[in-house]
Structure 1
Amino acid sequence: MENEMEVSEELMNYNKESLNKLVEEIIGSKDISIVEIPCVDLYMDQVTTFFNEKLGSLKRNEEDKILTKTMINNYTKGKVLMPAKNKKYTKEHIILLTLIYNMKQTISISDINTIFDPIIDLKAPKSLKILLEDLYNDFLDIKEVQNKEFARDINKDSEFIKAKINEMGKEDGELIELILMVLLLINKANLQKRMAEKLIDSFFKKE
């Protein structure tokens, strides 16, 4: 009974303003810019501290870790990341770790390895086939535009769901709206994940 009361109170607070606030929290999270990456090479402890400080707002739960020593070691063993030089990590390492963090939310480490294969030559860690800084800056520019589109699409989807519920004369409209919104977002995420995997399978994997 107590749980039902808590849910009811949360639902009473659900409206367009609260939805927009959640969207702003998501798209308002700051990315690591090139100028924020230290010019000097970092030891592993410094790398994990840097990431947990810069991307701490992305954690869902307080106890979550953005990056750990185990993660870095696993990326290196899996050849997703080139080995550290004299136990230190360069700007290129930081950029790759940032990209890995973004990608591993959706695709497997194996797929990430496949994508990075044409980018870096692990036999010569300093040999980068494309400029990582340019790639990363392009990604941030595109992401900024995509964030604005995300905010616009969320409002559009919300209005569509509301209209559908009103049209059908459903009771408990707020609850149904929230469930449908979650289902819609998951469906979009699944479609985008499958499309990313199709691109990887079609154009990146070697026969």
Structure 2
Amino acid sequence: MKTSTELIEQLGLDKAITLDHIPNIDLYMDQIIQLFENTYGETKRNDTDKVMTKTMINNYAKAKVFFPIKNKKYSKEHLILISMIYHLKGALSINDIKTTLEGINEKTVNKDIDLEAFYNSYLQLSEKNVESFKAEVNFQASEVKKEVANLEVEDQDYLEKVMLISTLVSTSNLYRKLAEKLIDELESKEV
């Protein structure tokens, strides 16, 4: 089995759409898709996967996950929100994402938030999360190796992979459940 460090390096966790990547002019949908493809294309699991599609963006617009566009063009604020949606969609439903970003959308439209500063803070925290993630995965891999060694069975490499997959999914579920609980609190405050 490849080491956890080798596997993590293949994930492209350093990839992000920063404010420097987002032009100060409004973009058409095809330009947004190209920006996401150029930034995250290497991180796809399979070559046939799409990073972002017109259908995805249209579905986000129909669900009102971000405020309406003007003249078929997306502003810098739209791109920031679409980038956040891109990251949230891996763990949350479209309704949970809408609930999460509803207040941000409203504050953006009312100019009650510096969305660029908020996004930069989000990106900084994400970078710190990557470092914590690397340390945690290395710790989990070490613990898995010890547990499987205690089983004294053949094909330990296979069992280590299955155990690490199970452990990572279990941890992921814990984070998702806590995020959902926080979303529920957001919803209860809106009522």
TM-score norm. by structure 1 comes to 0.85
In angstroms, what is the RMSD of aligned CA positions?
A: 1.7
CA contact (8 A) 2:12 2:42 kept: no
Name the % identity. Answer: 38
CA contact (8 A) 2:12 2:43 kept: no
Cα displacement (A) at 1:167: 2.3
Deviation at 1:128, TM superposition (A): 3.9
Structure 2's unaligned 5+ residue stretches are: none
**Equivalent in the alignment of 1:61:** 46
Query: Contact (CA 8 Å) 1:29, 1:58: kept in 2 or not?
Result: no
CA contact (8 A) 2:66 2:78 kept: yes
Is the Cα contact below 8 Å between 1:42 and 1:90 reproduced in 2?
A: yes
Alpha-carbon separation, structure 2, partners of 1:78 and 1:15: 41
- 1:87 Cα offset (Å): 1.4
Corresponding residue of 2:80: 95
Q: Deviations over 1:162-203 (max 9, x none)?
A: 112222322221111110000000001111111100111023
- Structure 1 contact 41–91 (Cα < 8 Å) conserved: yes
Please list, as runs of the form range in 1=range in 2, the aligned pairs for 1:120-139 lying within 5 A after superposition.
120-121=105-106, 126-139=109-122
Give the Cα–Cα distance (whole angstroms) in 2 for the partners of residues 159 and 121 of structure 1. 45
User: Contact 1:48–1:67 at 8 Å: present in 2 too?
Assistant: yes
Q: Are residues 1:162 and 2:145 paired?
A: yes
Distance in structure 1 (CA, Å) of the matches to 2:169 and 2:103: 31
Number of matched pairs: 190
Indicate whether 1:195 and 2:178 are aligned. yes
Shift of 1:94: 0.4
**CA displacement 1:79-118 (0-9 Å, x = unmatched):** 1012211111110000000000000111011011111111
Work out the CA distance in 2 between the residues paired with 1:94 and 1:68: 14
CA–CA distance in structure 2, aligned partners of residues 113 and 81 of structure 1? 8
> Structure 1's 86 and 15: CA in aligned 2 closer, same or farther, altered over 3 A?
closer
1:15 is displaced (CA, Å) by: 4.2
Secondary structure, in 3 states, of the residue corresponding to 2:104?
coil
Q: TM-score, normalised by structure 2?
A: 0.92
Please state whether the residue corresponding to 1:134 is helix, strand or coil. Answer: helix
**Greater radius of gyration (CA):** 1
In the alignment, the residues of structure 1 paired with residue 164 and residue 40 of structure 2 have an alpha-carbon distance, to the nearest angstrom, of: 26
